[in-house]
Structure 1
Amino acid sequence: KESQDVVVLHVDIFTNYHEPEIAISAVKVLEKMGFQVLVTFVDTLGRPHLSKGFLKEAKEIAHQVISEWKHYAESEFPIIGLEPSEILTAKDEFLDLCEDEYLKDAQQIAKHCYTFEEFLAVNIERIPRAKLSESVIIHQHCHSKALTKKGLSSKVLSHIGFEVNELDSGCCGMAGSFGYEKDKYDLSMEIGSQRLFPAIIEDKKRSNVCASGFSCRHQIHDGTGFKAKHISVLISEKI
């Protein structure tokens, strides 16, 4: 295949061991769009280490991943991540973490990294449409809000045929493992209860709920009882 039809799908540790159906759905969607999918399993890109202050270990991971992924960038293959905080670590923090000898390769890798919804939005004309009479509430991951364009999931799901409501909900309150810490739990639930939880619980349309972040989906379930779906799962069910 031509290089523009080959994509690399990064299956992170959270997806691989907890919600593999997300990766399976992503492959189905990308193949329906006409792409050949190469799957790469890297246990972590260093996000948990960075979040907890283990910078030395995070740097070692960055160097290892850069060495493994540089040939994807050289081949002009898009590298697509399912967990925003993971793939955006490669796109952003790697550039500050790595030693000078790795920087050129890190910059090339960063140029080819996409969140799943970001890549779909760029290639939206290749996504099949569906005849739907369904609505969806979207909660955008904090890393995506900071490092990608706003409204990408809305753009993609509207194209497919959903009635879209993207919440201006701020953080879900979980923030990685923050909300699981004993002394942070009450604050975590308070943050979620400000806007996110009420918007879902009080929704009279009984909409689908879409959240691309692993911790966001678990926080939504714990705070509302509703199961939020990754955008790949939501799309694969409809096209």
Structure 2
Amino acid sequence: NLTGQSCKSLSSALQSSNCVLRELDLSNNDLQDSGVKLLSDGLKSSNCQLQILSLTHCRLTVQSCESFSSVLQSSNCVLRELDLSNNDLQDSGVKLLSDGLKSNCKLEILRLSGCMVTEEGCGYVSSALSSNPSHLRELDLSYNHPGDSGVKLLNHTNYRLNKLNLKTGRFLATLDEGEFRQSWAPAGTEVTSLLWQWREKARETEPLWEPRRHHCCGSGEKKPEKLSPCGSRGDITAVAVEKLARRTDLREPRRHYCCGSGEKGQKN
């Protein structure tokens, strides 16, 4: 139940020569922008040794991004990981953060999941990565609204990202994951994990899977045998996978009646 005023005490502690704090998680507290402003004074101190800071769900806005931009540009800043997920930062906030990333920033991990970022915000991040491509290793822009064009802006061979999270609730209408991956590989970029949400093809009213047919009971009549993925590209959404995981009939042997004789067909 911390508030913005709590950050005043924390800021003072971070500026102390006796403080050896390396990691701080203040998530799910009502700190707001005023709290971040107070905290930023401590983060810019030459005595501050904090490397990991998490402020998810803290009711932050673009003003907090202005404070962090100043922190990231400070020569005293030793932050390596910053998580601002699930705050209303929007594109204007990302622009300010990106200005901080363009300097001598040493930040390696930046998480902005669920921050209302669109194609415009992706453009700002892309510009920052072009200016200072050597340090940022992990970028999380999941559950935002980049669209195909925004994702393409992040597709650059000079970036050194090891992990890019683009999982999103918005469907990607034309962008192909295979093409995206291929464009990273030739330059030797170390993309070890690309989290992707395929566009959803099947609607609730359509079958998630297609039956594979076989001849059963010697009659030559084709009947369903077992289920196999549908879709010419194997496009399966996370929602579909979750639903299918709950269907025990996909994991347990099934019997079916065929040829109208009531005889039970054999399962492979």
- Is TM-score (shorter-chain normalized) higher than 0.5? no
Q: For the pair shown, which has the larger CA radius of gyration, 1 or 2?
A: 2
More helix per residue: 1
Higher relative contact order (CA 8 A, sep 6+): 1
TM-score by length of 1: 0.29
